[in-house]
Amino acid sequence: EKPYVFVTRKVPVSSLALLEEIAEVEVWPKEDEPVPYDILKEKAKKATGLFTMLSDRIDAGLLAEAKQLKVVANLAVGFDNIDIEAATEEGVVVCHTPDVLSDTTADLTFALLMAVARRIVEAAEYVKKGDWKNWAPLLLAGHDIHHKTIGIVGMGRIGTAVAKRAKGFDMTVLYHNRKKDYEGERTVGATYVSFDELVSRSDFIVCLAPLTNETINLFTYDTFKQMKESAIVVNVSRGAVIVEEDLEKALENNLIAGAGLDVFKDEPISNGHPLLRFPNVVALPHIGSASKETREEMASLSSQHIINVLKGTKPEAIVNDDVWKK
Ligand code: GLV
Ligand code: GLV
């Protein structure tokens, strides 16, 4: 009997072909609706592998009842939706999809940064609404990007890719990590500074830090107070790294010049979300890695992670390496 693998969302079919040769694969049939938690929990009880999305909650309760589960492959680089400690205790290998999405996510990060700085969304709506009656010297004038200072909070693979793009715009690149990243300093010419120095010196503050106990609520009203009035904040990691009410207050009081947000504390948000009322906020629906090519690569990689675990081969990108050693 083939092991049972549950895939929590429709993914490119080609990515499942190899997996289907060795496993009984069931795919949640809805493309844009997550599997309800209770159903996921039922499926997990008989599953050897779970192919999950960042919108699925894989908690200790689910893991405790999933007695045959060997692997959870998350279609994301982030894995804050999974209780890693519980997975490790239960002997479940957790995999994610780093590297394949770094350039794509860096492209989106830069697109969002530029969209806020140059008021691209506002300007495009202005034309479509028929408001363009005259040319004017300061019509929709924004902020320069080139030769400015960008501060990257969380300099990992994606941050390094963002820094390379920033260099092309002749920007000064600062970064802050828990640990100094010498590799980044050498390869992209980024300078390590404290978090406080980063937020006070940067024209663009770009958050790419994963959501952890240390980064949750990292950006508070005090943080925004330290920023330049011309500063633009861009978040492409996880919403909960920023206290959203504090960002709202900061925008209301003109402490900063704008924000580009691809992520929110509770996703999806509705169009009544308080941050959407500001014209200088550009909001996106968590599409950092969403290019067709990259999503296909991510799905193939997740599939391959499960195949490897089922075959007893070490997968490429394990989050909880300790489990594999056991
Ligand atoms: C997306 O947010 C990811 O973590 O890959
Ligand atoms: C995410 O994995 C990053 O390396 O930035």
* 308 CB-near residues (< 8 Å, 6+ apart): 314, 315, 316
**4 has pLDDT over 90:** yes
How many angstroms separate the CA atoms of 226 and 152, rounded? 16
Do 143 and 190 fall within a single domain?
A: yes
Q: 72: closest CA among 312, 301, 238, 305?
A: 305
For residues 302 and 266, state if they share a domain. no
97 CA to centre of ligand 2 in angstroms: 10
Same-domain check for residues 88 and 228: no
Nearest-ligand number for the alpha carbon of 206? 2
Cα-based distances in Å from 120 to 117, 123, 282: 8, 5, 9
With a 6 A CB cut-off, is 78 part of the ligand 1 pocket? yes
Chain segment 271-321, per-residue pLDDT in tens: 999 999 999 999 999 999 999 999 999 999 999 999 999 999 999 999 999
Query: Is 155 in the same domain as 298?
Result: no
- Please give all residues whose beta carbon lies within 6 A of any atom in ligand 2, as ranges: 77, 98, 156-159, 208
CATH of the domain at 216: 3.40.50.720
> What pTM, to 2 d.p., does this model score?
0.95
155 shares its domain with 203: yes
Coil, helix or strand at residue 239: helix
Q: Are residues 180 and 247 in the same domain?
A: yes
CB 11 within 8 A of CB 51: yes
Ligand nearest to the CA of 208: 2
- Do residues 18 and 89 share a domain? yes
The verdict on ipTM greater than 0.90 is: no
Identify the residue whose tokens are 């990292």: 218
**Residue numbers annotated as active site:** 238, 267, 286
Q: Residue range 240-246: average pLDDT?
A: 98
CB 251 within 8 A of CB 224: no
218 and 276 in a single domain? The answer is yes
Domain count, the chain: 2
Domain residues for 141? 102-283
Q: What is the pLDDT of residues 38-51, one digit of tens each?
A: 999 999 999 999 99
Percentages (nearest 5) of helix, strand, coil residues in the chain: 40, 15, 45
Q: Indicate if the pLDDT at residue 323 is higher than 90.
A: yes
Query: Does residue 195 share a domain with residue 232?
Result: yes
Distance 154 CA to ligand 2 centre (A): 8
Asked if residue 296 and residue 247 are part of one domain, the reply reads no
CA angle 57, 286, 228 (to 5 degrees): 120
User: What's the gap in Å between 105 CA and the centre of ligand 2?
Assistant: 10
Query: Same domain for 83 and 121?
Result: no
Which of ligand 2's atoms lies nearest the C-alpha of 154? Answer: 5
Residues 190 and 109 in one domain: yes
